[in-house]
Structure formats: C-alpha cells, structure tokens
Amino acid sequence: MTLITSLVNKVSKAFSKPQSAHLLGISLRQNSLAYCYIPRTEKQPNSVVSASRCQQIENLQGDFENTLSDFAEQQKVQGQCQLILSASQYQIIQVNKPDVPENEIIGALKWQIKDLVSYSPEDMVLDYFYAPKQPDGTEKLNVICSSLMVLKPLVDHLINEDIYLTTITVEEFAFARLLPFSEDAQLMLCQQPDEEIFIIIVKQGRICFQRRLRGFAQIGSKSEEELSFGAIDSLSLEIQKSTDYFERQLKQSVIKAIQVIIPISCEEYLANKLAENTHLSVNTLALPDEFSSSRHLAAAIGATMEDTMLFTNEENE
C-alpha cells in the first residue's frame, strides 16, 4: 500500500459515516481551485442529474490549504472525492524498472530516483505506470512523485464528514479520462488555465507518453493574429517531436488524430491551424453535453469520469 493510500485511510476513518455515491473532482491550479460535483442516487449510480455543477474558486495567493479548508466548509457537496494536484506539486520522471519483485518496486524506486527529484526518500510519496517497452526490450517506468509534507495538510484540510477522499492524482490522468476508448493511439494537447500545456498519448485507455511544454501558460491571452506570429508554429514543432519519438524511437503505432482541449477563446482557430501544420486530423475534444460550457474545468470533470489508478494502485497494497 502506498503512503498516500495509508494517509487517506487514516484520516478518513475518523469519520464513520457511510460513503456517499456522489462524485466530486477537485483540481488545484496555480491561481484557482476547480471542482466538479455529480450527485448520484443509489438506484441510478451511473446517471448525471441536473444538480451537477462545475465551478472555479479563485486562489490568487496560492494558499491551497486554506482554500481547501474554505471549500470543505462552505460548499454544499458530499461524496467520494478525487483530488488533482497542481503541476507545481509533483514531478514525473522515467527510469528503468528496478530488478525486484512487483511488490517491492515502490520501495526500490525511492532510492533509485532520490537524486533526480527534489524530495528526500523519507518525504517521498510515489506511484508509477509502465512506459511502452523499449525496442531493445528494456522496461521503463514513469514515476510520479510528490512530498508527504505537502500532501498531508491538503488531506487534513479537505476531509470532513461529507467528503471522502479516495484518490490523489495528477493532471495527465484526469485529462486522459476524458478521451473515449480507442484501439488507436491518440495525441492530446491539454491545458488548464494559467498552467503549462502538456502532451499525452493515450492508447487503449492507457497513457503511453507524456511531456510538459514550457512557455505556453499565457497562450489564452493571445489573439488569433498573435498566435500566428509563432505560438502555433512552436506548438506544431513540439507535436512533431513527440510523434516522431513515439513512432520512430519507440516503434509504436502511427498517430492519426489529435484532440485539443485548451480553454481559450481561439481554441477552434488553434485546432484548425495545427491541422494545417501537422497534416493530421485535429479536433477540439468534445465534453459531455452537460459540461460543454465548462472546458476550463476539464481536469475536475475528468476526475469524476472514472476511478484513476494513481496513489491507489492495488498492486502496491
């Protein structure tokens, strides 16, 4: 069992109230908190009712602890909660799979990556997912790492008798849940407001590749004309680098489609220009109808779509 699962369980057990069927996704971001709340009934556990709501709460000081505390006290929500960390609260690195039994991988990884991340092994909370096997047969893991000192106060401030925190996850997994299942590899270009853009490649419901781009956090402030001055060409180049690595270096299947979810006023224009540059099918990712006007809250919506694996990996229990 990972440390964060133990931490969540320890705090949650302080409340004996039965778990609600309602779903709650909370996304921490640089300047705000986004949440999606989906009430469900026991008779219709998979239904989305009219009371569903998505909102954004400003957090200009970056004070996640007090913002979560205020949220838990003031918002009339309850249910099973998935918390999405801000990009500044975790790191993702790729390493060779340690040569140990599966149930010992977590412990081995702490010492294997200790010089590659900014957390000490004693403060480290991590989980992992498999990367595509290398052409030479090498097995690699993508390790997602955070700080226990950072996570514990968030858990303490969020949980109350109405909110049951089940999972702590990251943006990449939340966005991947928005993509319909496909046997083919699909590239997603994703962003949350004021955060950097990142690329993920998803195949058969699994993340096969992830890469965060730098320098695009303020793309939402640009007009169509300003985007044409270089931003679109730069994004096209980054997409090309990612597809070349995935297809040629990793010897994976050819990417035929790109899905864009960048909540800016010029999103359609951006997608059309990327299609011209990449010569691929580029579409703005369609959200469920009830959330079509909440594209800026997509990560929180994704957290309510389906259970994510991060920090609740059963193989590590």
Position 80 in a domain: yes
| Total residues belonging to the chain | 317
pLDDT higher than threshold 70 for residue 49: no
pLDDT at 6 over 70: no
The answer to whether residue 51 is domain-embedded is yes
**Residue 74: per-residue pLDDT:** 82
Q: Is the domain of 46 the same as that of 195?
A: no
Question: Is 297 contained in some domain?
Answer: no
Residue 233 shares a structural domain with residue 276: yes
Amino acid at 267: E
We report the CATH number of the domain holding residue 136 as: 3.30.1490.300
Residues 183 and 37 in one domain: no
Residues 184 and 252 in one domain: yes
104 and 183 within one domain: no
pLDDT at 247: 95
User: Is 110 contained in some domain?
Assistant: yes
Whether 306 has a pLDDT exceeding 50, the answer reads yes
Looking at residue 295, its pLDDT comes to: 95
What span, in angstroms and rounded, lies between the C-alpha atoms of 305 and 108? 32
Give a yes or no: residue 290 inside a domain. no
Instruction: Give the whole-angstrom CA distance, residue 127 versus residue 105.
Output: 9
Q: Is the pLDDT of residue 17 over 50?
A: no
What domain range includes position 102?
A: 90-147
pTM for this one?
Answer: 0.87
Residue 11 parent element (H or E):
helix 3-12
Cα–Cα distance for residue pair 291/163, rounded to 1 Å = 22
| CA dist., res. 292 & res. 285, Å (int) | 10
Q: Are residues 115 and 183 in the same domain?
A: no
Per the structure block, which two tokens stand in for 160? 């109350």
The CATH code of the domain that includes 27 is 3.30.420
* Same domain membership, residue 83 and residue 57: yes
Strand partners, 38: 23
Is 30 part of any domain?
yes
In a domain, 122, yes or no: yes
Q: What is the pLDDT of residues 181-232, one digit of tens each?
A: 999 999 999 999 889 999 999 999 899 999 999 989 889 889 999 999 889 9
Domain count across the chain: 3
Q: Which residue shows structure tokens 């407001």? A: 193
